[in-house]
Structure 1
């Protein structure tokens, strides 16, 4: 039974492309990619996968830095009815082989990378060591040959595909994305996120950040898109509201500030070290007043933000940094500070719409409403979750 195919994650792109085809979706260097062009690129990927025998429910892996190919391949995989397995671009060949085998990936897209970070070489070696993964597509950059054989050129094979594709419908409880998380012991485990998990986290920006499709934000993308934080808050969040993503493959503070000025960035998402870097890079050559005038939202995650960084950023940029809490298994946002209110430094905020939380003590007893637990206590998000033996976690959607 199809519960609600309209909540398939690929609709985040296709719906916006139909409403605002000429609006800029991605800025990368001198390139500006419209929503219509990005959707067409994703359709080519979907057609390629179907032509190679990829079926609904199959897993397709992706190793790619913050470049436009990440988004076109990501949504192309979803359009084809498959599930995306985004892999850390820093993985070595043996780790890649493990992830491909563990996820049962049938196909694999990998960026060639750079001489400093030869993603393609590690990916090709990992692919050849993995059984069951039959298709490999190298997204060439002309910088770092894969070596040892002849992997198929992504650009060559995808160019042959049609630019139209009818998205294959999937049940909203089917797996959309598999995010690998290391946990505390053993091999990394794949958290299987359903379409409604991932889809519901993106439009939550209406409540979390007062996002408005009539006045879309411009996001600076410095967080890796293969990670849940950047993937959901930046990529999926931007596309849900027709925003523009300015991509920076690797964070460098001074370059980030230039991009913020050049493109009138209104939405910044980073980890604490990035905020420290931005503050340290401010000098007399930086038009701080203009940065502050443009910036509407600042979001931090990954670790607690020091109180002094909160204060310095508010003093220089006039924006309160919002903090939240999440994990791969919750797609990832579970709680967040309230937009427009001064946060309590060190707090993870309140549960986002659709999520329930409770406090539990070290002995796993209920902390009660309004209860207080010690530093070793836990806040448990109860969106639900059940073990998938031998693979990791299967995460149901938020309660409705």
Structure 2
């Protein structure tokens, strides 16, 4: 396991404090649309927020629901909640009424931090709403005031919270906190390594909504592993780190916010993804460290063409399968932009606090589906799916992970926890990921095949949609592709949903793509049907929503 200095392993707050001391009080901590927050200002705001929350009744062990996008209040609140030993209950800001109600009821939250777009969804709840206005931290400049005016007009259609216990403006909470600091001093720091720091929501391996409990030590482990894995010599105080991935997701919080703040870097915070805006911000801020999902990189690609990219030190993709075409195109783009870094796929899951494997920077070519080697301190093995029987490296099996970054379990869901955290013959508790992989014996690289639940059985053979998508993505006319299984006579066959780079006759596109597949795939992987669509459905994390397509096919078959 990785070893940790005693003074930084206790809580998320202590890691932030460490980063602040490393950067100095005047060092830039957060950049938000041209407004810069120093580490001194950030620490002052965290302390005021912590004192304000205590003044409003939050105590150690309570759950505070953070229902916010990536705005400064979200960053401040997570560390303030952690400082007083409470738990951040992280919920997607675009969740439905049912989803936010479920998360609040599950954790018995009495305080919710909301913004303009979702406050109304909390109506009727027995909670105190802390109203965080998105423009509050816009620059105090003519441009900032104009941005605020435009934003306020855009959100007029959203409802405010009604019939709740109390509504407190963020500014009032902070004022209460500063008054408390002046009279009573800094709140006592509460928190131990094993305490739950955050709860994240995921479909997990069974498709049902579950709250993943991540401890202080788990989140801190990822931060330390990434610094070690990237190389401390590359990381300089003041370097910019892009935070476009949402903090309600482990990838966003642990990797793009907590890791850089623990190291004294500058977090470039963006609450929404727009390809032009994000690329412009990366170039403007000379963002050295970039982490994102494949769909994000696809959309930004043309924005970087012909630009100087020499400032980039690390560019990582995860959260979804990364095609070889995308890797090759970005590596060419980086070389043309005078950048020596390589585009590096990685692998992770919420139950392991996001990233747990990363491709090495020294690679020449990446085998299909390769997502790298485990981060330092992580151990992996493969087992026969649904069992704890270990299979040799080089044989396909379900990936299992033993790591300090593994979740404690699913909150108030022992049955689901026991299904994925299992005791092996070595006496250790391993996380069963539900992903089918092959570990390459010479290199230790993890070669991803498919989600176990997504694997398709065709005439008794295992067919992996990701492998089909990887091949079909290389067709010059294909923009995006998703493979699913459909009923076919008394068996199952593959159906391909595709978006095209230019308009084509659907029948002609189907014929050409099936011919392309026949020449490159085994007979069981060749799609029986190809359907051209205008766009593929997306999950809230911008992944291709293959489940939505499966449900669509199910409805079609039911109506026949």
Q: Please confirm whether the aligned pair reaches a TM-score higher than 0.5, indicating the same fold.
A: yes
Tell me the alpha carbon deviations over residues 168-222 of structure 1, each in whole angstroms, 9 at most, x when there is no partner: 2322111111111123557511111111111111121222222455455311222
Cα deviation for residue 224 of structure 1 reads 1.2
- Aligned residue among 128, 132, 137 for 1:135: 128
For structure 2, the residue ranges without an aligned partner over 5 or more in a row are: 135-151, 336-340, 423-427, 431-560
Which residue of structure 1 aligns with residue 26 of structure 2?
A: 22
Q: Is the 8 A contact 1:5 1:172 kept in 2?
A: no
Which residue of structure 1 aligns with residue 376 of structure 2?
A: 353
Structure 1, 389-398 or 205-214: larger mean CA deviation: 389-398
Which residue of structure 2 aligns with residue 262 of structure 1?
A: 284
Which residue of structure 2 aligns with residue 366 of structure 1?
A: 389
Tell me the alpha carbon deviations over residues 53-92 of structure 1, each in whole angstroms, 9 at most, x when there is no partner: 2221111110111111110011010011101111111111
Structure 1, 155-164 or 266-275: larger mean CA deviation: 155-164
Which residue of structure 2 aligns with residue 382 of structure 1?
A: 402
Corresponding position: 1:179 with 2:200: yes
Distance change in 2, residues 1:46/1:295 (3 Å): same
- Aligned residue among 137, 142, 146 for 2:160: 146
Which residue of structure 1 aligns with residue 239 of structure 2?
A: 217
Q: Is the 8 A contact 2:260 2:267 kept in 1?
A: yes
Cα deviation for residue 139 of structure 1 reads 0.8
Which residue of structure 1 aligns with residue 263 of structure 2?
A: 241
For structure 1, the residue ranges without an aligned partner over 5 or more in a row are: 113-117
Corresponding position: 1:324 with 2:324: no
Distance change in 2, residues 1:167/1:334 (3 Å): farther
Which one scores higher on RCO, CA 8 angstroms, separation ≥ 6? 1
Tell me the alpha carbon deviations over residues 334-377 of structure 1, each in whole angstroms, 9 at most, x when there is no partner: 2222234444441121121222110112352534442311xxx3
Structure 1 length-normalised TM: 0.86
Which residue of structure 2 aligns with residue 82 of structure 1?
A: 86
Structure 2 length-normalised TM: 0.63
Which residue of structure 2 aligns with residue 68 of structure 1?
A: 72
Q: Is the 8 A contact 2:49 2:173 kept in 1?
A: no
Distance change in 2, residues 1:181/1:5 (3 Å): farther
The alignment's C-alpha RMSD in Å is 2.7
Q: Distance in 2 between matches of 1:363 and 1:83?
A: 32
Q: Is the 8 A contact 2:20 2:262 kept in 1?
A: no
Distance change in 2, residues 1:156/1:92 (3 Å): same
Q: Distance in 2 between matches of 1:120 and 1:386?
A: 29
Q: Is the 8 A contact 2:212 2:409 kept in 1?
A: no
Distance change in 2, residues 1:167/1:322 (3 Å): farther
Which residue of structure 2 aligns with residue 50 of structure 1?
A: 54
- Aligned residue among 107, 110, 115 for 1:106: 110
Q: Is the 8 A contact 2:50 2:187 kept in 1?
A: no
Number of residues of Structure 1 aligned to a counterpart in Structure 2: 378
Which residue of structure 2 aligns with residue 115 of structure 1?
A: none
Which residue of structure 1 aligns with residue 177 of structure 2?
A: 161
Which residue of structure 1 aligns with residue 14 of structure 2?
A: 11
Q: Is the 8 A contact 1:335 1:348 kept in 2?
A: yes
Structure 1, 354-363 or 336-345: larger mean CA deviation: 336-345
Which residue of structure 1 aligns with residue 311 of structure 2?
A: 294
3-state SS, counterpart of residue 90 of structure 1? coil
